[in-house]
Amino acid sequence: MTVSGSELLDRAKSWLAQDPDPQTREELAGLIDAGDTAELAERFAGTLQFGTAGLRGELGAGPMRMNRAVVIRAAAGLAAYLKGTGQADGVVVIGYDARHKSADFARDTAAVMVGAGLRAAVLPRPLPTPVLAFAIRHLGAVAGVEVTASHNPPRDNGYKVYLGDGSQIVPPADAEIAAEIAAVGSLHDVPRPDSGWQTLGDEVLDAYLARTDAVLAPGSARTARTVYTALHGVGRDTLLAAFARAGFPEPVLVAEQAEPDPDFPTVAFPNPEEPGAMDLSFATARRERPDLVIANDPDADRCAVAVPDAAAAGGWRMLRGD
């Protein structure tokens, strides 16, 4: 159905009145003042759809973008779902990566949970998504949220939801949470206190690392030499700590990609499966001559491995499940 220009402007002005973020308010006000109905139509043609993968989309103002207003609605819907399923006294664990706005979205989620009467615990800094999934079960939480767009381009962010078993949601929970999100009214009616949630220490990460010991056979060889890239994400420190605990040689880092950087400046897409994403890793490997190359995507829930192969282009071959 075609929406008239005046209706688009009305929708945009209503959204603007509730938007808590000065940055996206300024962005949207500029579109309204310019009468940019084409851009407004793109942003207000509907809403980001919540599903088993949560939410994911381009950052910006409006209901078809990822922003604080969309996140607050999603958090309020999740809180309503948890309360409606008898989990009103539970803990919700919140993690986040190093993308643009991730820390803001995590803080908003914690505030909404506390405002709804639940308890919220936020991981101490940007950490891999598997740490969040582990923390849910380790702490006996009723749900978890990870703010990340995984291996999407830098313009995107996202919102993954987990229930108390530590796995991402599946039907019918996704549709039930989506219905609660759709039922959220004005953001002015969503309580968001300035405090009241817990910021976790490193105890959860230490417990996660302790569990990594269990994947190794006692007395097994620990001699493999590796090159590692975090692809500008959050995996480096956790991987280095796990290797040190296990007694493996310290991995050689791909220096250009070792630090978290939400702009992912050395790759077109921060996904180790994408063409070109591993070029710097393979260049480092040709210099260092390791046994393996290991790569994570930015939120470190995807792992890629390459092995030496004289027959492969550049001397390294990616291992694939197919």
Closest residue by Cα to residue 305 from 313, 317, 297, 314? 317
**C-alpha to C-alpha distance for 243 and 256, rounded to whole angstroms:** 21
Given a contact cutoff of 8 angstroms between Cβ atoms, the answer to whether 122 and 106 are in contact is: yes
Q: Which of 4, 6, 150, 220 is catalytic?
A: 150
**C-alpha to C-alpha distance for 300 and 298, rounded to whole angstroms:** 5
Q: What share of the chain is helix, strand, coil (3-state, %, to 5)?
A: 40, 15, 45
Q: Is 153 helix (H, G, I), strand (E, B) or coil?
A: coil
CA angle 200, 112, 197 (to 5 degrees): 25
Burial zone of 42 (CB within 10 Å; 0-12 exposed, 13-18 middle, 19+ buried): middle
Burial zone of 269 (CB within 10 Å; 0-12 exposed, 13-18 middle, 19+ buried): middle
- Helix (H) / strand (E) element for 198: namely strand 198-199
Give the ranges where the chain is alpha helix by DSSP (H): 5-18, 22-34, 37-44, 68-84, 102-115, 129-138, 173-182, 203-212, 236-246, 279-288
Is 150 considered catalytic here? Answer: yes
Token look-up 């996704």 returns 174
Token look-up 């694939």 returns 320
Rg (CA), the chain: 22
Active site amino acids: 150
